[in-house]
Amino acid sequence: MAPQAPNILDGVRERFDASVDGTVGLEEEYQLLHPDTLALSSRFEDVMTEAEEPLSQRLCGELIASEIEYRTIKHDGFPTAARELVEGRLATIALAERLGTPVGVAGLHPFSPWWEQRIIDTPHYRLRDQELGYIAWTNNSWSLHAHVGVHGADRAVAISTALRSVLPELLALSANSPIFMGRDTRLASARTNVFTKSFPRCGVPDAYRDWSEYAAFVELLERTGSIQEGLQIWWSVRPAHDFGTVEVRICDGQTEMVEALALAALMVACVMAFGADYDDGRPLPAHPRGLIDENLWRAQRYGVRGRLIDLGRGEEQSTARALERLLEWTEPLHAPLGLTPFLASIPGTARHGNGAVRQVARFAELADPRALQAEIVERTRRSAEEALALVGAVGAGT
């Protein structure tokens, strides 16, 4: 008799129960581009073939052949993860440019159509192609993810549930995809529609009280043939089965490296602050999904220039004030976790505008999506070079 295939959750609870609080892994997705037109270019396999260790171990595919992802190793804390992400972006750009392939980062490409892209030929993505069809084909999007180690399976589920309530603030701050298919979409984050609003088992999950409640849901999906692997749960925040981490997945890709690091630091701060509240016996939020979705719409539409509902008070507030409150709530953890210098740019971004605000303004001036993309490519590289001073200074003090 053939051995029984393992269940999706086999060993996962044990992995969380052995996990260490506050470890950090970061993931950033890059656009691979044609040198003349700056349209998306299917060069993934070429880049991977030329990559050497250790870079080859950090790069991986992400659905389409015109996209590549850099994944840091697991770090004991945020500062070294931040330094690796900066160095990883620059190393990937250097490799791709040697092959005649510029690199850009934003939530969406401003003009390349989805029907010109090719899904990479791996078992994982062949399954996505067969299962999702058009939904997979049109998912030409780029994101920034953070994995944060959380000790304890029940604790990880409770923290994931609580994090749902701050996803709108994170999305609003990260919004960086207003220009799509050559037009101003009037959305700060059109990527949210392309991915979060189209994929199944995506967006805001239900509120799960503990591991057993969450596990019962996953086991039902598996038993009924809805999923074959845990990676088919694409929620904007989820327990990451393979790593014993809570993964936050709501953010658009960031052109500006300092803003990528600020977002990643804020994600880490929120995970760890909810963990501290849990440990101190303070009740964690479990707001209805409908209310969180209302805030997500506001974040998607207006970004940092909008207003969000304070779900605890039932009152409106500016998005800038909501972000200020997140920083105030997490402040006791900033210095101990080495986050302070990385979070310093957030108030200015909230006041003066983020990637979406800048893209809209420049597109109005340039009236040319290719010219806009040229600036995105330039800032993708230049901003990482500029961020070396930040991560170098932090590293020297650790």
* pLDDT tens per residue, range 314-345: 999 999 999 999 999 999 999 999 999 999 99
> What pLDDT score was predicted for residue 4?
53
**What are the beta bridge partners of residue 202?**
234
pLDDT band at 2 (very low <50, low <70, confident <90, very high): very low
Alpha helix ranges (H) inside 208-354: 211-223, 257-279, 289-302, 319-334, 340-343, 346-352
> pLDDT for 94-148, tens place per residue?
999 999 999 999 999 999 999 999 999 988 888 889 999 999 999 999 999 999 9
**pLDDT above 70 covers what percent of the chain?**
97
> What pLDDT score was predicted for residue 325?
98
pTM: 0.96
CB contact set of 162 (below 8 Å; sequence gap of 6+)? 274, 277, 278, 284, 285, 286
Q: What is the CATH number of domain 12-396?
A: 3.30.590.20
pLDDT at 55 over 50: yes
Q: Give the helix/strand (H/E) hosting 67.
A: strand 64-71
What does the block give as tokens for 39? 């349209």
- Contact in structure between 35 and 247 (CB atoms under 8 Å): no
Cα–Cα distance, 49 to 271 (Å, whole number): 36
> What pLDDT score was predicted for residue 124?
84
Averaged pLDDT score across all residues of the chain:
96
> pLDDT for 188-216, tens place per residue?
999 999 998 889 999 999 999 999 999 99
**Residue 351 exposed, middle or buried by CB count within 10 Å (0-12, 13-18, 19+):** exposed
Share in percent of the chain as helix, strand, coil (round to 5)? 50, 15, 30
> What pLDDT score was predicted for residue 163?
98
Cα–Cα distance, 290 to 293 (Å, whole number): 5
**pLDDT above 90 covers what percent of the chain?**
94
Largest CA distance in the chain: 68
pLDDT at 397 over 90: no
What does the block give as tokens for 4? 């029984």
What does the block give as tokens for 165? 């309530």
> What pLDDT score was predicted for residue 3?
44
> What pLDDT score was predicted for residue 393?
67
pLDDT band at 1 (very low <50, low <70, confident <90, very high): very low
97-114 in b/e burial notation, b at 16+ Cβ within 10 A? eeeebbbbbbbbbbbbeb
pLDDT at 262 over 50: yes
